Structure formats: structure tokens, C-alpha cells
Amino acid sequence: MTATATPLAAAPAGARPRAGLRGLPWLVLRQHRVTAWCAASALAALVVGLVWLRFGMDDFIDSRAIRDACITSTECPTAQATVDYFRRTAGDLLHYLGYPLMLLPPIAGMFVAGPVVARELESGTYKLAWTQSVSPLRWFAVKLSVPAVAVLAGGSLLSVAYTWAWQAVPEVLLPGQAWYHSFDTLGAAPVAHALLGIAVGALAGLLVKRAVPAMGAALVGYLVLAGELLDNLRAHLVGPVTQLSAAQPGLIRDRTWMLERGIVTRTGEHIAEPNCGVDVSPEGCLARHDGAGWYLEFHPYSHFWPLQWAEAGVSVVLAAVVTGGAVWLLRRMYR
């Protein structure tokens, strides 16, 4: 018995595509409408929660006069009980609300790898689209572009809301959530990472062709690129500030990402954190290494946005390279 393929433009009664969205993009959205509705609901809840938290934190900090008190002292000696309560409640909640942005890139990659690409290759349903004037390349482009647009829109909105809420709190009130600790949840980085996750997921789906293993491969691939490459590259995307001093500099400064401290020898060589032994004074350490002074490398808070955009650019370039590899593989496999 020969089955007659139903044109993509056709749809069951009561399920016709809306004006402005037809064909394969509409079909992809319809296939994953439950996931789309769940994601949209979660996004709305998170944004509303972040707006509520931002105003609540502002009110708490100002009504109890702990904003200025904590800016002037890293230890917050005044109103310590109030500061501790703020950290346990609003501070912890802000921290937990950042997890969705950290998880967005690997989840997006796993979703594209499994349900979007590999499942169709595994079940053979892609053949229906390819027999109705839809080329493999167009099929793949739509499968990739629909989640990419959704991530750009939803991820950007969530990142803006979280960054706005995070900026309400003086950094000294949340010492574990400094900008360099929360880098993956702020600004442009999480959105660019999500695009990289989608590209890795698409390549994994084409390579593995089975939904569950493809999801695992996408997770591993993303963690290698983001967890190893980007994390190790981050501090070097923008040149750090190098400060020279005669006395040994401290390693604790507000809103500053400390990278390296060490001795500058008389020949100009930098020795990072020299081993001078126990109970040796900084002066004795200098003498032992023929040092002329100390150096400190760091990123001030003013480097936050340059580092953000630099890492976002690297992530987008990596996503483009991975996507190019996926297109090459698709043409080679199904030409």
C-alpha cells in the first residue's frame, strides 16, 4: 500500500497556520507547541519574579540604611544582623534565579540535538518534508532558526531582567555574587552561549541520529567549549590592568577581579606568587628573588561590558563555525 504524502501547507481543520507564519516554521512550532508554551510560561514567571525581587531589594536596603554603610566597609560591621538576613533571603533568591540563565545554553543544545533534529532522523519523518520541495538544507535551516529566534528573544529578556535586578544590590552585600562570579548569568554572555549550545546540538543531532544519545553528546560538547575553552579564555579577552608598587598589594578590593600578584625582578621578569617560605616578610621575599617591587594584574569593574561583548563575540563565532560544520556534514550525508 502506498501512502500519499500530505502537503506541508495542509493542516487539520481548526489547526491552520496563522497569517505571517506558514509552511515549515509553523510545522516546527506546532510539533513542539507544548515545550514552547511551557518555556513561555516559565519565562513570564521568572521575569515577574525578578521585577518583584528588584523592587523588594531596593526597598529593604534603603529602608534599613544598609546601602551606604556597606559600601564604606567590606565587612559590613554596622547592622550586621540585618545584612546577614538580607543575604540569607533576597541574596539567596537572586542567586537561585540566576540558575535558569546558566542552564539555558546546555538545555537549548540538548533540545535541538534530540527532539528537533535527531528524533526526525531516527524515525525517518524528515523524508516527508524532503519529498515536498523542501531541500535538506532548508529543512535544517528552519530546524535551527526557530529555536535560535526563540532563545534570542526569551533569553535576552530574561538576561536583561536578571542583570537589572542584580545591579540593585551593592556588590559588598553579596560577596559571593560579584560580577566576575556571576558572569555567565549577566549581560550578553548567556544569550551568546545559548546560540553556541544550539549550534552544538544541531551538529550532535546530525552526527548521532538518535535522540537520547544526541542529547548527551550535545551536553558534553557544550561543556567542553564553554566550560573549558571560554572559561579559560575569559580573563584574556581584554587586557588586564597591571599595577606596580613597592609594597606588597592586597588581594581584596571591591568590584575588582584579581588575576595575579607577584614580584617584579630587577631585570623586569614577573614571578607570580613566589614561594618564599613560612614566616618570611614581603621585604625578605623581595630580597630572596632580587625583586625591585610588586605587581598586581586585575580587571576593574569598568571591564565588565568589554569582557561581556568580547566573550559574546567569541561565542557567536564558535557557533558560526560549528553551524558551518553541521551544514557541510548535512550536504555530505544527504547529497
**pLDDT per residue as tens digits for the range 138-155:** 888 888 888 899 999 999
- CB-hemisphere CA count at 13 Å for 5? 12
State the average pLDDT over residues 117-133: 75
pLDDT for 234 equals 95
Q: Which residue has the higher pLDDT, 3 or 91?
A: 91
Which cell is 161 given?
Answer: 531582567
CB-based burial of residue 100 (10 Å sphere; 0-12 exposed, 13-18 middle, 19+ buried)? middle
pLDDT for 11 equals 45
Phi, psi of 222 (to 5 degrees): -65, -45
* 13 pLDDT more than 50: no
pLDDT for 144 equals 87
Alpha carbons 319 and 316: distance in angstroms, whole number: 5
Given the DSSP bridges, would you call strands 270-272 and 291-299 parallel, antiparallel or unpaired?
unpaired
Q: Identity (one letter) of the amino acid at 56?
A: G
Calculate the alpha carbon distances from 320 to 18, 55, 107, 181 in Å: 31, 39, 19, 27
State the average pLDDT over residues 59-65: 86
pLDDT for 274 equals 82
- Average pLDDT value for the chain: 85
Closest CA to 255 of 315, 166, 330, 128: 166
Alpha carbons 144 and 108: distance in angstroms, whole number: 11
Q: What is the pLDDT of residues 311-335, one digit of tens each?
A: 999 999 999 999 999 999 988 877 6
Among residues of the chain, what percentage have pLDDT more than 90?
50
* 72 pLDDT more than 90: no
Q: What is the pLDDT of residues 94-108, one digit of tens each?
A: 999 999 999 999 999
State the average pLDDT over residues 237-262: 88
Alpha carbons 310 and 236: distance in angstroms, whole number: 10
pLDDT for 74 equals 60
Q: Is residue 131 very low, low, confident or very high in pLDDT (cuts 50, 70, 90)?
A: low
Among residues of the chain, what percentage have pLDDT more than 70?
87
